[in-house]
Amino acid sequence: MARSRSSTNQFRYLQLSYYLKRPKRLALLLFSFVVVTFVVWDRQTLAREHEVEISKLNEELSQLQNQLKNYLGDASEDIHFSEPTKKNLVADDPIDIERRDKVKEAMLHAWTSYERYAWGQDELQPQTKNGIDSFGGLGATIVDSLDTLYIMGLDDQFQKAKEWVAKSLDFNKDYEASVFETTIRVAGGLLSAYDLSEDKVFLEKAKEIVDRLLPAWDSPSGIPYNRINLAHGNPHNPSWTGRNSILADSGTEQLEFIALSQRTGDSKYQQKAENVITQLQKTFPSDGLLPIYINPDTGGSSYSAITFGAMGDSFYEYLIKAWIQGNKTESVKHYREMWETSMQGLVSLVRKTTPSSFSYICEKNGDSLSHKMDELACFVPGMLALGSFGYDSENSEKFLSLAKELAWTCYNFYQSTPTKLAGENYYFHDGQDMNVGTSWNILRPETVESLMYLWRFTGNKTYQEWGWNIFQAFEKNSRIDSGYVGLKDVNTGVKDNTMQSFFLAETLKYLYLLFSPPSFISFDEWVFNTEAHPLRIVPRHHQRETIR
C-alpha cells in the first residue's frame, strides 16, 4: 500500500488537478511552458539565420575565388587552377564507367570498320564498303583518330596508326586542299598526338604539313587564301566565294600554329596566324560581329552574312581559346577583349521561340535578322561556359545561364525529330518553336561538345543524361555492320554513305569525356582545337625559352 501511494505521489505532477488546485502552481506551469517554447523557437531561428549567413558567405567566397582567379589569370606565372571544387569531387561512378565503355566500343567498331574497308584513305563509305579521299589522300580518319585512340587506351590501334603516319603519310599531293580543314584535322591531330605521346614523329609531320600550307598567308593583307595545292603551292580562293576568304577558314589556325611555334621554337607559324587577328582587329566592329567574307587584298569585310554557324563559327571559338592557350596573360589580352565584344554582339542576336521559349541565335544579313540557326552553332554553349569564368560574377552568371538555355535548345534539335537526331539547321516561326530546315545529320559533334563543357563546369549530371540519349540515337540510327553513317533525313531515318572523320575525332571523344572525370584531360592543362584535338597549354616562362 505504502509503495503504491509513493508511486502515485511520483506522478502527481503529470495530473492537471495537481495544478488546478493551486493557482501558483498553474502560473508556474504556464511560465515554464512560455520559457521552453521561446528557447526552442529561438534556437531554430538562430539555426535558420546561421544557414542564411553560411550561404551568403559561400556566395562571397565564390565571388572572391572568381576575382582571384581573374586577377591571377592575368598576373601570375605558371599558376594553374583546378576546376571548381564541386567538379573535383565528382567520383568516377559505375554508370559513367559503363557508358564510357559503350562509347569506347563504338569507337572500336568505327575504327575496325575503317581499318577493314578504307585503310589509308581519308574516309570510309560504310554502305558500299570502300574508302574515299575527301581531303586529298592524307589518311584523314587515321590522323583525326590518333588522340581519341590514345585517350581511350586503344593502344594497339594507336601503335598501328602511328606506324602508318611514320611510313605512309605523304603530303606531296597534287590536290587543292582546304587550308582550314587540313590545319584543324591534320596539323591539329598530329600536334595533339605529339602532346599526348611525346613521339617526335608527330611533330615532324605536323611541321611538314604546315610548311606546305604556309604560302597561303602570302596575301597583300596577310589574311590567308583558303585553298592551296599541297604539291605545288599556288594559294587562291574559290570562285564561289567571289574570291573572298572565309572568316572561319582564315581565323581558325591560331591554336595549331601557335602550338607548332612553341614546340619547334620557330616563331614564323605563330606570327602568320596572329597577324590575321591583328589585321581583323583594325576594322573590328563595335558589336564584334564580322561578316563571313573578307577581302584578302584589303583585309576588310565584304558584304555577307553574320553567323555563329557555318563559315563564321570557329573564328569566335579561337578568340577565347587563344587567350586560354596564352595563359590569359597581357600578351593575349586582345583575344579576350575581342571575344567579349563579340559576345555582346551574340547576345543581340538571341531570340526566344513561342510557345516554349527556346533561346536561339539568329543570323544577320545587313540590318535584318534571319530566324535560322545551324546545328554547327551548338558549339556556342560550350564556348560560353568556357569563357564565362573570365568575367566578374554578374556577367559570369549571365553567360553561363545563356549557355544553359542554348544547350537546352540544341538538345531539343535532337529530341524534336522522330529519330532523335538533329537536322543540319532549324527555322523558328512564331507559335511553332522549331522546324527542321536542311534535314540531314552527318554525325556532327557540336551539341555533345557543349554538353561536355557544361557538365564539367556545372557538375550537373543532366548534361550526361542528354549526351547519353544522343549517343543511343546514334547507335540506333547510324550504326551498321560496317561502321557509322549519317542520315539523309532525320525525319525518315534514311541513311547516307559516309563515316565523317570528325565522328571519331570529335563526337565519340567528347562523349567519352562526358562520362570521364573532369580531371582527365583537364581544362587547366589542355585546350581543345575546333576538331576536338587537345593541345597542351604551355606555361609562360617555357614559351619564352623556346620561341625564337
Contact between 498 and ligand DMJ per CB under 6 A: no
Q: Taking CB under 6 A as the rule, does residue 144 contact ligand DMJ?
A: no
CA–CA separation, 385 and 454 (whole Å):
6
> String of b and e for 207-219 (b: at least 16 CB within 10 Å)?
bbbbebbbbbbeb
Query: Is 390 one of the binding residues for ligand DMJ (CB under 6 A)?
Result: no
Among 531, 533, 536, 537, binds ligand DMJ (CB under 6 A): 531
Contact code string over 86-125 relative to ligand DMJ, x by CB under 6 A: ----------------------------------------
Q: Please, what is the minimum distance in Å from the beta carbon of residue 216 to ligand DMJ? A: 18
- CA 292 – CA 303 distance, rounded (Å): 8
Q: Closest separation between CB of residue 454 and ligand DMJ, Å?
A: 17
511 or 547: CB nearest ligand DMJ: 511
Gyration radius (Cα) of the chain, Å? 30
Instruction: Measure the N-to-C terminal CA separation of the chain; round to a whole number of Å.
Output: 108
Contact between 444 and ligand DMJ per CB under 6 A = yes
One residue of 84, 136, 345, 445 binding ligand DMJ per CB under 6 A:
445
CA distances from 40 to 51, 378, 404 (A): 17, 54, 43
Residue 135 corresponds to which amino acid? F
Nearer to ligand DMJ, 195 or 375 (CB): 375
Catalytic: 317? no
Least gap, CB of 410 to ligand DMJ (angstroms): 13
Which residue, among 456, 451, 438, has the nearest Cα to 409 in the 3D structure? 451
Task: List the Cα angle 49/53/55 in 5-degree steps.
Answer: 120
Instruction: Find the binding residues for ligand DMJ in span 364-383 (CB under 6 A).
Output: 376
Question: With the C-alpha atoms ordered 168, 503, 403, 364, is the resulting torsion angle positive or negative?
Answer: positive
Nearer residue to ligand DMJ within complex by CB, 391 or 484: 484
Q: How far is it, in rounded angstroms, from Cα 448 to Cα 411?
A: 9
281 residue type, one letter? Q
- Is there a catalytic annotation at residue 313? yes
Q: Which of 125, 241, 478, 530 binds ligand DMJ (CB under 6 A)?
A: 530
Is 181 a known active-site residue? Answer: yes
Catalytic residue among 122, 123, 249, 313: 313
Q: Pattern 311-350, binding to ligand DMJ, x per CB under 6 A?
A: ---x------------------------------------
Query: Which one, of 215, 220, 242, lies nearest residue 299 by Cα?
Result: 220
Closer Cβ to ligand DMJ, 96 or 147, answer by number: 147
Smallest separation (angstroms) from ligand DMJ to the CB of 323: 18
Instruction: Name which position in 194, 315, 502, 523 contacts ligand DMJ (CB under 6 A).
Output: 502
Distance CA 135, CA 122 (A): 6
DSSP 505: I
Q: How far is the CB of 144 from ligand DMJ (least distance, A)?
A: 9
For 259, 282, 508, the CA distances from 99, given in Å and listed in that order, are 33, 48, 12
Task: Report d(CA 168, CA 93) in Å as an integer.
Answer: 41
Query: Minimum distance between the CB of residue 503 and ligand DMJ, rounded to whole angstroms?
Result: 9
* Nearest distance in Å: CB 540, ligand DMJ: 27
Q: Which residues contact 3 (CB under 8 A, 6 or more apart)?
A: none
The answer to the question of residue 254 lying near ligand DMJ (CB under 6 A) is no
**DSSP state string for 111-136:** HHHHHHHHTTSSEEETTTTEEE-TTS
Q: Which of 256, 317, 446, 531 is catalytic?
A: 446
CA nearest 292: which of 261, 313, 275, 278?
Answer: 313
Nearest-CB residue to ligand DMJ? Answer: 530
| Cβ–Cβ < 8 Å for 71, 79 | no
Near ligand DMJ in 285-314, by CB under 6 A: 314
Interface with ligand DMJ includes 447 (CB under 6 A)?
A: no
Least distance (Å) from ligand DMJ to the CB of residue 148? 14
Q: Which residues bind ligand DMJ (CB under 6 A)?
A: 184, 314, 376, 444-445, 502, 506, 530-531
Q: Which residues are catalytic?
A: 181, 313, 424, 446
